[in-house]
Amino acid sequence: MSKTDPTSEVVGPEILSQRMGRGSPSPSSIELSTSAQLAPPKDRGGSKSGLLYFFHQFLRREYLSIISLIVFLLAWEGVCYFKIIGPYQLVPPTTVLKVFILKLTQVNPDGAYLWAHALSSLGLALLGFLGAALIGVPLGLFMGWYTRLNLVVRPIFDLIRPIPPIAWIPLAILWLGIGVKAKAYIIFLASFVPCVINSFTGIRLTNPILARVARVHGASDFTVFLKIGLPSAIPMIFNGLRLSLNAAWTTLVAAELVAASQGLGFMIQMGRRLARPDIVIVGMLTIGVLGALLSWGLSKAESHFVSSRRLT
Amino acid sequence: MDDYILSCQDLTVSFKDSEPPVLRGLTLGVRENEFLVILGPGQCGKTVFLNCLAGLQLPTEGAVYYRHNKVVGPGRERGVVFQKYALFPWQTVLGNVAWGLKSQGVSKEKRRAIALKYIQLVGLSGFENAYPQTLSGGMKQRVGLARAYATGPKVLLMDEPFGALDAQTRYAMENELLILWEKEKRTVIFVTNNIEEAVFLGDRVILMSARPGRIKIEREILIPHPRSYTDPTFLALRQEISAETDLAL
Ligand SMILES: Nc1ncnc2c1ncn2[C@@H]1O[C@H](COP(=O)(O)OP(=O)(O)OP(=O)(O)O)[C@@H](O)[C@H]1O
Ligand SMILES: [Mg+2]
């Protein structure tokens, strides 16, 4: 069995450290980078403090992205305005915004408020994700540390791993019915795999010299696992959690195909059935924005946790 | 063997049967409070040898003895300073130095007191709460020294501790190591690939050959400390040892 596992779920340590470098710069590099970015190349004597200055700098840095976004929205609006794509296939961004606001206070036509759909989906995704993290991370760590356990679990894990979570839907329904349990189970499966693989790889990356230092000081194997292996694996564990959360969120729509009466995936389905592209698009955008927010929250937690403990 | 604090008998280590052993038939005794230097070219098995003495590597043949007891694993009486700094990046200087004490079950205040004492001895006062990444190479290895000293081992095994340092820092660290050693006498086994460092530090120098690693020559060095790089006796000894090796000067 090879030591590291070159699979798509694993992001190599170089990439990881690059990401870390951006996500959680050391205190000294924070100062360096911000002062480098914020210091204007030519000081034109404008007000250097306050919101205006910040806004100015923001525009200066991001103007290309802002322009790109505006052009995209205008093009979209134009495509609808000139009926290049008909109103039953696509609605313009202005309508999307209107429907979005409307859906906050209105249950029609799909049966629930937008925030109720969102909460239901969030709860479901988090349930599956947390379950996967609580079981998958320790399993991966132990498999990486104890070769015997790895030999026992690996074949089964490798057999189950390539099965797409959606393929589990029929069995999940047979076993767990059509309630929350089946849906959470499918999301659990989707987020389980990256948790295991990344924790496994992470602990395999433990510097053997650090483990030796601990052993010289009389540490038992389990102590070395806890005190050296675990901290060494933390960056990769977080990497796995991020991929897991991603997997959980992207499997959501599929999981909500299982007889749902609420949820963003269900909302999209209803939108299709009622031939309401506006509802579909509002649902899709909500999924996108919430997913981005979740990832952002996790990487905030990560950079706080990792950098405050100097784990990179 | 009675006079020796640490010794090995016919030590042979081989990893692959197809290759010559890394170490073959090494027999060596280290006297108490001796500063023994093991000099050898790169990849000649110095680290493997030190690992055997530390109990991290079990020999294929032969045995290592601490006084009269056969070494079968790491032990509190043998401390190690590693070749690469090998500090825990998630621990402060204080945390690193106190680490071994913690795993020995020393109480918190006592750990702190002992760690602070050695941090001061290696000249790192004021850096107790710094993390390793913020330290220079020389400072990192000071932490390594303090950490090895803190658990109170009788024998200190040092694997090219200054190998990664620039010449000037290295010279300063050599001097400080000697001062520390005078203050707190321990048996030191110091591995290096640098002849001058060997002659500058050692009471005795053992020259190793590569593949299989064996003892080539052995010299007592009686020049009193502090030694000078330009002292005629020093130069003569350096000449003599370098004639025996293919090490670059
Ligand atoms: N665990 C191992 N398995 C197989 N071969 C090993 C192992 N450890 C060391 N070796 C081999 O033993 C030889 C000596 O290695 P060692 O690290 O002891 O050399 P060294 O003298 O410390 O070198 P350096 O000066 O670079 O530190 C090397 O050729 C290495 O390939
Ligand atoms: Mg070595």
Question: What is the pLDDT confidence band of residue A131, given thresholds at 50, 70 and 90?
Answer: very high
Q: Which residues of A touch B151 (CB under 8 A)?
A: 217
Which member of A209, A219, A310 has the closest CB to residue B82?
Answer: A209
Q: Which tens digits make up the pLDDT trace of A147-193?
A: 999 999 999 999 999 999 889 989 998 999 888 889 999 999 999 99
Chain B closest CA to A206's CA: distance in Å? 11
| Substitution site in B15, B49, B207 for ligand 1 pocket (most atoms within 8 Å of beta carbon) | B15
pLDDT reported for residue A261: 82
pLDDT band at B19 (very low <50, low <70, confident <90, very high): confident
The pLDDT score that the predictor gives to residue A248 is 93
Residues in contact with B169: Cβ distance below 8 Å, sequence separation at least 6, in sequence order: B136, B137, B138, B162
The closest-lying atom of ligand 1 relative to the alpha carbon of residue B48 is: 18
Identify the top-confidence range among A43-52, A192-201, B19-28, B215-224.
Answer: A192-201
Mean pLDDT of B52-78: 90
Higher pLDDT, A280 or A111: A280
Query: Are B54 and B117 spatial neighbours (Cβ–Cβ below 8 Å)?
Result: no
**CA B201-B207-B211 angle, 5° bins:** 140
Residue A14: which pLDDT band, with cuts at 50, 70 and 90? Answer: very low
Sign of CA dihedral A159, A162, A165, A170: negative
Measured CA to CA, the distance from residue A159 to residue B73 in angstroms comes to 40
Whether A218 sits inside 8 A of B75 (CB atoms) is yes
User: Nearest C-alpha of chain A: how many angstroms from B241?
Assistant: 31
Percent of chain B with pLDDT over 90: 33
Contact list in B for residue A210 (CB cut-off 8 A) is 86, 88
Q: Where are the domains of chain A?
A: 4-84, 114-311
Distance (Å, rounded) from C-alpha A258 to C-alpha A113?
20
Q: What is the pLDDT of residue A40?
A: 47
CA distance to partner chain A, nearest, from residue B239 (Å): 35
Residue nearest to atom 15 of ligand 1 (CA): B45
Section B179-196 average pLDDT: 90
Token pair of B194 as six digits? 């640098």
Summary mean pLDDT of chain A = 83
Looking at all shown ligands, the one closest to residue B13's CA atom is 1
Distance of alpha carbon B19 from its chain centroid, rounded?
A: 27
CB contact under 8 A, A310 and B90: yes
Confidence category of residue A108, pLDDT binned at 50, 70, 90:
confident
Between chains, do B89 and A311 touch, taking CB under 8 Å as contact?
Answer: yes
Q: What is the mean pLDDT of residues B95-109?
A: 87
Higher pLDDT, B12 or A306: B12
How is the beta sheet containing B187-192 ordered, strand by strand?
A: B78-81, B155-159, B187-192, B35-39, B204-209, B214-220
Taking CA atoms only, the protein residue closest to ligand 1 atom 29 is B43
Pocket residues for ligand 1 (CB within 6 Å)? B 15, 22, 40, 42-48, 83, 160, 193
Confidence of residue A226 (pLDDT cuts 50, 70, 90): very high
- Contact between A270 and A111 under an 8 Å Cβ cutoff? The reply is yes
Rounded to whole angstroms, the Cα distance separating A111 from A120 reads: 13
Q: Distance from A311 to chain B by nearest Cα, in Å?
A: 5
A54 pLDDT above the threshold of 80: yes
Question: Does A21 score more than 70 pLDDT?
Answer: no
* Inter-chain touch A310–B80, beta carbons under 8 Å: no
Query: How far is Cα A44 from Cα B15, in angstroms, rounded to an integer?
Result: 69
Task: Using the atom order of ligand 1, give the atom closest to the CA of residue B208.
Answer: 21
Of all residues in chain A, the one with the smallest CA distance to B101 is A217
Q: Quick one: pLDDT at residue A252? A: 87
Cβ distance A215 to B74 less than 8 Å, yes or no, reads yes
Query: Model confidence over B119-174: pLDDT tens digits?
Result: 998 888 899 999 998 898 889 999 999 999 999 899 999 999 998 888 888 888 89
Cβ atoms A187, A126 nearer than 8 A: no
Q: Whose CA is nearest to atom 23 of ligand 1?
A: B43
pLDDT digits (tens, 9 = 90+) for A68-100: 999 999 999 999 998 888 888 888 999 999 999
pLDDT for residue A9:
47
Q: Where are the alpha helices (DSSP H) in chain B?
A: 46-54, 93-103, 108-121, 137-150, 167-183, 195-201, 232-243
Determine the average pLDDT of the residues in A29-48: 45
CA B43 to centroid of ligand 1, rounded, Å: 5
Question: Residue whose CA is closest, atom 16 of ligand 1?
Answer: B45
pLDDT value of position B1: 52
Mean pLDDT in residue range B180-188: 89
Nearest bound ligand to CA B58?
A: 1
Q: Contacts for A276-281 with beta carbons within 8 Å, 24 or more apart?
A: A276/A109, A277/A87, A277/A88, A277/A89, A277/A90, A277/A91, A278/A91, A278/A95, A278/A96, A278/A99, A279/A99, A279/A103, A279/A109, A279/A110, A281/A90, A281/A91, A281/A96
Decide if pLDDT at B94 tops 90: yes
Interchain contact, B86 vs A212, CB within 8 Å: yes
Residue ID of nearest Cα to ligand 1 atom 17: B47
Res A220: pLDDT: 87
Nearest to A207 by CA among B22, B89, B78, B129: B89
Domains detected in chain B: 1-77+154-249 (3.40.50.300), 79-152 (no CATH)
Contact state of B89 with A213 under an 8 Å Cβ cutoff: no
pLDDT for res A35: 42
Reply yes or no on whether the pLDDT at A55 is more than 80: yes
Model confidence pTM above 0.80: no
Task: Report how far apart, in Å, the C-alpha atoms of B224 and of each of A156, B186, B201 are.
Answer: 67, 18, 10
pLDDT mean over A117-133: 93
Give me the residue from B75, B78, B88 closest to A210, CB to CB. Answer: B88
Q: What is the CA radius of gyration of chain A?
A: 24
Give chain B positions within 8 Å (CB) of A214: 99, 103
Q: What local confidence, expressed as pLDDT, does residue A43 receive?
A: 47
Pocket test for ligand 1, best of B12, B22, B192 (most atoms within 8 A of CB): B22
Q: Which CATH architecture best describes the domain A114-311?
A: Orthogonal Bundle (1.10)
Q: Which of B37, B43, B60 to mutate to test the pocket of ligand 1 (most atoms within 8 A of CB)?
A: B43
pLDDT (0 to 100) of residue B21: 85
Q: Contact at 8 Å (CB) between A251 and A187?
A: yes
Lowest-pLDDT range of A10-24, B77-91, B163-177: A10-24
Enter the tokens of residue A215. 């052993």
Nearest CA in chain A to B150: A217
CA nearest ligand 1 atom 14, residue: B45
| CA-based nearest residue in chain A for residue B131 | A310
A116 contacts A262 by C-beta, under 8 angstroms:
yes
Distances (CA, A) of A46 to A38, A42, A193, B81, B185: 14, 11, 53, 57, 66
What ligand is nearest to the CA atom of residue B193?
1
Task: Provide residues of B within 8 Å CB-CB of chain A.
Answer: 51, 54, 56, 74-76, 78-80, 82-84, 86, 88-91, 99-100, 103-104, 131, 133, 151
Burial class (CB in 10 A: 0-12, 13-18, 19+), B236: exposed
Distance CA(B205)–CA(B36), nearest Å, equals 6
Measured CA to CA, the distance from residue A128 to residue A181 in angstroms comes to: 9
pLDDT at residue B217 tops 60: yes
State how beta strands B69-70 and B61-66 pair. antiparallel
Q: Is the pLDDT of residue A33 over 50?
A: no
B152: left (phi over 0), alpha (psi -120 to 50) or beta: left
- Percent share of chain A, pLDDT over 90: 48
What one-character-per-residue DSSP string does A175-224 give? HHTTSHHHHHHHHHHHHHHHHHHHHHHHHHTS-HHHHHHHHHTT--HHHH
Sequence letter at residue A244: S
Are the C-beta atoms of A267 and A256 separated by less than 8 Å? Answer: no
Computed over every residue of chain B, the mean pLDDT equals 88
- Round to whole Å and give the CA distance between A58 and A37: 10
Q: Measured between alpha carbons, how far is B205 from B199 in angstroms, rounded to an integer?
A: 7
